Amino acid sequence: MIDQRRLLCLAVTVLTLCCCPVQEPPAQHPSAYTADSRLISTVPESGHFVLTQRGYMVPYTDRIPGTDVTFEMVPVPGVAARGQMQPFWIGKYEVTLAEYAQFMKLDGVFRTLVARKERLVSEENLIDSVTAATDLYIPQERFAYANSPNAPAASMTRYGARQYTKWLSLISGRQYRLPTVGEWTQACRAGTKTRWSFGDDPAVADQYCVCRETSSKEGPENVGSRKPNAWGIHDMHGNVTEWVLDERTLRDHRTLNLDLDVFPNQGRGIAILKGGSWLQPLQQCR
């Protein structure tokens, strides 16, 4: 059985987080997805799509409940896992300030409750305690580079990124999470085997990638400012780097010579970042 997965790319200045949902149809209703606009039974007349055993996965737009903020998801052919190819959806753009700001509002609400001593954790309410957004890891740069709601969200911790995906899953009714390294790489390559998804020629990089050589701006650009890859996904090279679900030990990183950026994760391992940022040279945005 093919798992149906959705991934949504989120951004973090100099680090980006990607969020991906996982949702399987109930076993008693194997054709449940055929009535869903995200999975259709006939060949789409145009646009990018992915054929699965249950139908054709197509792009879709979702909205954060209670707001006018929307985000777009793009289907991606699966990566091998447990002997199967598991297709998924990933965000067409990095998560924007407009999206992440909806989650950050909870931070102020939570702190107000704590300040008023209305929601202190005790043995009686431990199982019912509140989870909210964590502070940005560079508080003095609290979205400092954001010049519009379409700027990528910035400076959240990996924990904050994962909490965002849990919050989005809860309020949307669909399960979102960070992508794995394999899923992120599959989406970034878009079927290519070249150095970058746009080829091996750095001369055309300015059309696709926001990096040290191609940007004159002091910070990331609005999402989608450059051309997408062949599957319609923007900013996988540069702009802001992206959190993924996997962790590696430092020994893994050195022994396997993994082409990854790594970031200490509170002593539990090495959190992984992908894609590079506007601060890094093109060679590191692969």
Question: Looking at residue 138, what is its pLDDT?
Answer: 47
Question: Looking at residue 219, what is its pLDDT?
Answer: 84
Question: Looking at residue 197, what is its pLDDT?
Answer: 96
Question: Looking at residue 94, what is its pLDDT?
Answer: 93
Give per-residue pLDDT as tens, 24-43: 443 443 333 345 678 888 99
Residue with token string 């391992």 = 269
Q: How far apart are CA 36 and CA 284, in angstroms?
A: 39
- Counting as low any pLDDT under 50, the low residues of the chain are 1-34, 114, 129, 137-140, 252-260, 262, 264-267
What six digits make up the tokens of 60? 């879709």
Instruction: Locate all alpha helices (DSSP H) within 94-149, ordered by sequence.
Output: 97-115
Contact present, 238 and 197 (Cβ < 8 Å): no
Nearest to 130 by CA among 147, 109, 116, 149: 109
Give per-residue pLDDT as tens, 74-105: 999 987 766 666 899 999 999 998 998 888 88
Question: Looking at residue 82, what is its pLDDT?
Answer: 63
Quote the pTM value.
0.76
What six digits make up the tokens of 88? 């998924």
Question: Looking at residue 286, what is its pLDDT?
Answer: 85
Residue with token string 């990095």 = 94
